[in-house]
Amino acid sequence: MKSLVLAGGMGTRLRPLTHAMPKQLVPVANKPVLFHGLEQLGRAGVTEAAVVVGDWHREIRAAVGDGSRFGLEITWLRQEAPFGLAHCVLLARDFLADDDFVMYLGDNVFSDGLTGLADTFRKRRPAAQVAVVRVPNPEEYGIVETGPDGRVTALQEKPRRPRSDLAVAGAYFFSPLVHDAVARIEPSLRGEWEITDALQLLVAEGHEVRAAEITGWWRDTGRIDDILDCNRLLLDRLETSVEGSVDRASTLLGPVVVEPGARIVRSHLRGPLIVGAGTLVEDSYVGPHTSIGADCVLTDAGLAHTILLDRATVTDVNGIHGSVIGRSARVGSSPPGGGHRLVVGDHTELRVLA
């Protein structure tokens, strides 16, 4: 089985972070979200993957490399504009040939990986299999209706009046039959070739399309709250590992990872949390569900349920919670009586307490 990994989205809902980096490289649990998916594909027995990239192709290619760390041989495909998921299948036609494949959305994370889903598809080998999960807001997703045996009877893309709460998650398994269906659909009103239209065509023509409800959790990390939630869920699996230095005046409670070269000085850390390589945490408190990237500096700071990207600095500020602080960003206090000094970019949200 091959894989088609979609990593071309612009991530407009993650601005301002995605003004400076692709959404697929935003870290959760100190690892780019795309890497979690590539690792899961490798564990599921996939060895060849085509990765569809857009305007951020150079940055993503540099980060992923040749794919060997994931057990994958990577082929790169450039999509000039976001024309839809089915358009990516058209784009990858030569690579996919007549092999079965899994199409994976590169900003999605599955708690239980893809191995079980892949094994189910290999065993039964329907025309297509979609991973599904029950959601409270089905109007925001592609939705499937199923019969009692799990066979898909209808699909809708972001319906105004959903007839089901089964949302399509970020993994689709296909036999070569999908290529004919994709070639015969037309762009939707959004101007995109919708994969749900191709699946609906397979259903209408009597081909077997099945829904596989996932176990565990699934997250589409398209928004800041989703990024933080995924980070929390991944950190809940953490086991303590201290490779950096922790002085005698510091305390570590719960699962804490201190990566090589990191230094903890006169600080209190309460896990689960990660401190990245080369980071200094001094006279500070770091609370649960926090991921601190590499080469950061925390001095007289307090934070929890937060993600710091590489080289961020926080000085003399406490009470930071539910935040994402970008690469090389600096957060500090104002002098007494000096008021708040803010440098705020486009699409930024700040909450300042009086």
| Adjacent-strand bridge partners of 89 | none
Phi and psi torsions of 92, nearest 5°: -95, 15
Task: Say how far apart CA 96 and CA 75 lie, in whole Å.
Answer: 11
- Per-residue pLDDT 10s for the chain (354 aa) are 999 999 987 777 778 777 888 889 999 999 999 999 999 999 999 999 999 998 888 999 999 999 999 999 999 999 888 788 999 999 999 999 999 999 999 899 999 889 999 999 999 999 999 999 998 888 888 889 999 888 999 988 788 888 898 999 989 999 999 999 999 998 887 878 889 899 999 999 999 999 999 988 998 888 889 999 999 999 999 999 999 999 999 999 999 999 999 999 999 999 999 999 999 999 999 999 999 999 999 999 999 999 999 999 999 999 999 999 989 988 888 776 666 666 666 666 777 665
Phi and psi torsions of 243, nearest 5°: -110, -15
Q: What is the pLDDT of residues 115-145, one digit of tens each?
A: 999 999 999 999 999 999 998 888 888 889 9
Going from N- to C-terminal start, the domains of the chain cover 2-233, 238-332
9 half-sphere exposure, CB direction, 13 A CA radius = 23
Q: What is the pTM of this model?
A: 0.89
First to last CA, the chain: 57
Sign (positive/negative) of CA torsion 212, 33, 346, 273?
positive
Q: What is the pLDDT of residues 192-215, one digit of tens each?
A: 888 989 999 999 999 999 999 998
Pick from 155, 158, 165, 163: nearest CA to 140 = 158
3-class SS shares of the chain: helix, strand, coil, % to 5:
25, 30, 45
Tell me 80's DSSP state: S
Please report the pLDDT score of residue 141 as a whole number. Answer: 85
Strands 108-110, 142-146: pairing kind = unpaired
Task: Say how far apart CA 135 and CA 226 lie, in whole Å.
Answer: 14
CB atoms inside a 10 Å sphere around CB 213: 12
Q: In what order do the strands lie in the sheet with 324-325?
A: 241-242, 256-258, 273-275, 290-292, 307-308, 324-325
The three-state secondary structure class of 241 is strand
Task: Say how far apart CA 97 and CA 159 lie, in whole Å.
Answer: 33
Please report the pLDDT score of residue 148 as a whole number. Answer: 86
Please report the pLDDT score of residue 334 as a whole number. Answer: 72
Strands 273-275, 290-292: pairing kind = parallel
Please report the pLDDT score of residue 338 as a whole number. Answer: 60
Q: 167, 136 in Cβ contact below 8 A?
A: no
Q: What is the pLDDT of residues 252-294, one digit of tens each?
A: 999 999 999 999 999 999 999 999 999 999 999 999 999 999 9
CATH level 3 topology of 238-332: UDP N-Acetylglucosamine Acyltransferase; domain 1 (2.160.10)
CATH code linked to domain 2-233: 3.90.550.10
Please report the pLDDT score of residue 344 as a whole number. Answer: 62
* Structure tokens belonging to residue 350: 């700040």
